[in-house]
Amino acid sequence: MKQTFNMELFFQALADQTRLRLLNLMGDKEICVCYFVEILDQLQPKISRHLAYLRRAGIVEPRRDGKWMHYRILMPQHAGAAIILQQTLASLKDERVMQSDTKKLLKACCSPAKFNGLQGAPIPLTAACCERG
Amino acid sequence: MKQTFNMELFFQALADQTRLRLLNLMGDKEICVCYFVEILDQLQPKISRHLAYLRRAGIVEPRRDGKWMHYRILMPQHAGAAIILQQTLASLKDERVMQSDTKKLLKACCSPAKFNGLQGAPIPLTAACCERG
DNA sequence: CAAATATAGTCGTCTTAGCAAATATGTATG
DNA sequence: CATACATATTTGCTAAGACGACTATATTTG
């Protein structure tokens, strides 16, 4: 089907804790880079670099919105890869770190102003949380 | 569920072409190391190393049989990982290299004597191929 | 210009290939 | 039964390459 799909590269992209945390946070919604930085509590260039790896592997897609960049998961054309990615996302939800991240994201969406790095940051479009304070 | 399961390590183990080829050859049967060496046409220590990586990740299990070591895939306890591994194996079958390897393995099972490195090598137990020549 | 994000450069660390040596088993020999 | 040797496989070791962290700098947009 896909001539250019590379299983090895695909797994390489998934074989990193930081990238798994990013994917878990995205889930099925679009997230702004600034949220990743805030929630993972890691330096911005590091987040950016890992997002670049995911981009290169074709797993995520960026969208520019003014100053902000939003990322969302791009389900692979390759049927097998799509199943693997979905199963991975499902499995991640069982892990403590991932649950903690998800909870933190919800909080941040509710009141971005309370987080240093999120002054005036855009609220994730599909976030099912309370309105901005 | 499993405290010791590590998704990152699991994907790292899968993120290598040589290891994917080994897994594809094993499929659901037990294979002797000497077949891997012959079919991948790579140096034996290299094969051994990659088998060690797979062992460390708990993906394969060795069995000694006299001089020969046989390896087989060990389905992970972790339900998600098992699904991912099964889907991976299924997807590999669509790739040319993997199909070629599988075909070569079948040939080697039919007449091991014709391969330099397989003089007197054991035939994979569950190999559904013709008798040894 | 300021803010958000991406990229480049440098460094330390991890992974891998390749070779040599070690280990484990089997067989032959005394 | 002990020894020596052959075969199959694993494991140290070292150099090369890839990767991640960190800092500084560049790019894009308001």
Give the list of residues 6+ apart from residue A124 with CB closer than 8 angstroms, or none. Answer: A29, A30, A31, A32, A35, A70, A105, A109
**Alpha carbons within 13 A on the beta-carbon side of A56:** 13
Give the list of residues 6+ apart from residue B74 with CB closer than 8 angstroms, or none. Answer: B58, B59, B60, B61
- B1 found inside a domain: no
Give the list of residues 6+ apart from residue A47 with CB closer than 8 angstroms, or none. Answer: A18, A22, A33, A36, A37, A40
The answer to whether the CB of A27 falls within 8 A of the CB of A73 is yes
- Residue B132's pLDDT is 41
- Are A90 and B80 within 8 A, CB to CB? yes
Per-position b or e across B24-50, b if 16+ CB within 10 A of its CB:
bbbbebbbbbbbbbbbbeeeeeebeeb
How many domains does one find in chain B?
A: 1
- A133 found inside a domain: no
Q: What is the largest CA-CA distance in chain A?
A: 48
Residue A19 with chain B: CB contacts under 8 Å: none
Residue A57 with chain B: CB contacts under 8 Å: none
Token pair listed for A121: 């940051």
- B107 found inside a domain: yes
- B103 found inside a domain: yes
pLDDT at A132 over 90: no
CATH number of the domain encompassing residue B88 = 1.10.10.10
- Residue B36's pLDDT is 94
- B133 found inside a domain: no
| B60-65 sheet: strands from edge to edge | B31-32, B68-73, B60-65
Residue B53 CA and nucleotide D7 C1' are separated, in Å, by: 24
- A90 found inside a domain: yes
- Nucleotides of chain D in contact with protein CB (under 7 A) are 7-12, 19-24, 28-30
- Nucleotides of chain C in contact with protein CB (under 7 A) are 3-8, 15-21, 24-26
- A125 found inside a domain: no
- B30 found inside a domain: yes
The answer to whether the CB of B29 falls within 8 A of the CB of A20 is no
Give residue B103's domain range. 7-117
- Residue A20's pLDDT is 95
Classify the C-alpha dihedral B51-B52-B58-B61 as positive or negative. positive
pLDDT tens profile A86-101: 999 999 999 999 999 9
pLDDT tens profile A17-42: 999 999 999 998 999 999 999 999 99
A69: closest CA among A112, A129, A7, A122?
A122
State which residues of chain B have pLDDT below 50.
Answer: 1-2, 131-133
For A99-117, what is the mean pLDDT? 82
Distance CA B76, CA B5 (A): 9
With residue A61 as reference, give the H or E element that holds it.
strand A60-65
